[in-house]
Amino acid sequence: MPEFDLLVIGGGPGGYVAAIRAAQRGLRVCVVEKERPGGVCLNWGCIPTKAMLRSAEVFQTVTTAAEFGIHAENVRYDFAAVRARKDAIVKELTDGVASLLRANGVTVIEGHARFTGPTTVEVLEVGASPVFDGGPRYAAAPGTRVREVSARDVIVATGSVPADLPIPGADLPGVVTSDGAFGLTEVPQKLVVIGGSAVGAEWASLFAAFGSQVTVVEMRDRLVPAEDEEIGRALGRSFTERGITVLTGATVTAIADGSPLRVSVSGPQAGDLAADVVLVGVGRKPNTGQLGLDIAGIATDTRGFIEVDDRLRTGVEHVSAIGDVTGRALLAHVASHQGLTAADVIAGHDARIDYSVIPAATFTHPEMASVGLTEAAALAAGHQVTVAKFPFAALGRARTFGETEGFVKIVAGRTHGEVLGVHIIGPSASDLIAEGALAISLEATLDELADTIHAHPTLGEIGMETAMAGLGLPVHIAPRKR
């Protein structure tokens, strides 16, 4: 008889949520995790970056406090204290996850897991480096503790790691990934960020706030190219106004050693850039290299991601996969919902994952958030659309808040006014996007958004105001000329 009903490999936002849900469904559950619980999100991604971005935001607010009638002298930041606050928050939250797992009766084994069969693994104790001999077992040092674990069902939730940059000099000291950036003990004077997507843009925004001379190199024609085109171009203008150099349509071809490093860039503004630190933010790859997927017979696509169906099942019976390793959407909240779905399916419930409404947020300054179709995607899908926009500058709460940059853009169907996409750049975008996600989920229309009474004065009013603009009935901005 298997030792557990369910074995979850990886304790990130997908894995620990799946484990808790499965335990709530009455299953005997084990989680194998080689680091602190919480995965990349809690330890190296979502939470620590947002903690440091909040420090940067507070610093910026204090340095501009005179605009609010508040005068502060000798304002400075303590980067060591910024990092210490981040570490304290991370520890509190990871300890909280560990406590939740215990409270739900989940067994947690610390170590590296590797398949020895479809539903069996061996776990190498934490502290020992796993070296594999090409066969089904670890080539572990004598005395290293290896534990055999079996389960009726297995969920692979091992997440992702930063992708390698295949250029000369990418392995030089001073070249760091988004994970490695947390090891920086001081703010670099000159920083080059390779990649202008969400990860690169957040780090650029953070270090610029602390005074770094930041250059962002993005190979596409705008920043955050996955976002609506108007949002990406607005962020580029905002970065430029803040003193961040933005090079689009550009590619880093090499990094040369030296003090400072020399970064060679090709494109319209080709040349060499000087950098104390080069931060590589060009994407992530599945963290499956030493998992032994082939031993279990688990198939991957050409990029190495595990292929799953809408119930998160792989092609191997009793083996599921969730989170970044599936390559569907590398977002913590998607991993969590995949975890809930997979656990329910394994527990015998009829559940499926729906990817049609996935909100995303990027915590730059200003923030960005989106859900649903961009204008270009809606047109490409054959929709006839109405596009509505409303600026934060016309919102009373934004004026009192002192944050008037940006706008909300709603993409709706022209005939019925159904909301197809919502795109925000501006204050609290990450919180405001929830209304957009709910609108799409409930198939709401511009009429319904406009007719919903919103509290005043709030930032949330902007959804109603944008909908009224889309109906050609704006109150607080001039109507568009027909």
Q: How far apart are the first and last CA of the chain?
A: 73
What are the strands of the beta sheet with 175-177, ordered from one edge?
175-177, 277-280, 190-194, 213-218, 245-248
Q: Which of these, 155, 247, 199, lies nearest to 361 by C-alpha position?
A: 199
Out of 318, 333, 416, 456, the active site residue is 456
Please state, in angstroms and rounded to a whole number, the distance separating the CA atoms of residues 271 and 342: 50
Q: What is the DSSP string of 248-260?
A: ES-EEEEEE-SSS
User: Catalytic site residue 456?
Assistant: yes
Q: How far apart are CA 446 and CA 436, in angstroms?
A: 11
Q: Is the CB of residue 229 less than 8 Å from the CB of residue 374?
A: yes
Sheet holding 261-266, edge to edge: 251-256, 261-266, 271-275
CA dihedral 87, 90, 96, 101 (to 10 degrees): -120
Burial class (CB in 10 A: 0-12, 13-18, 19+), 49: buried
Q: Are 369 and 430 in contact (CB under 8 A)?
A: yes
Rounded Cα–Cα distance for residues 212 and 76 (Å): 14
Active site residues: 456
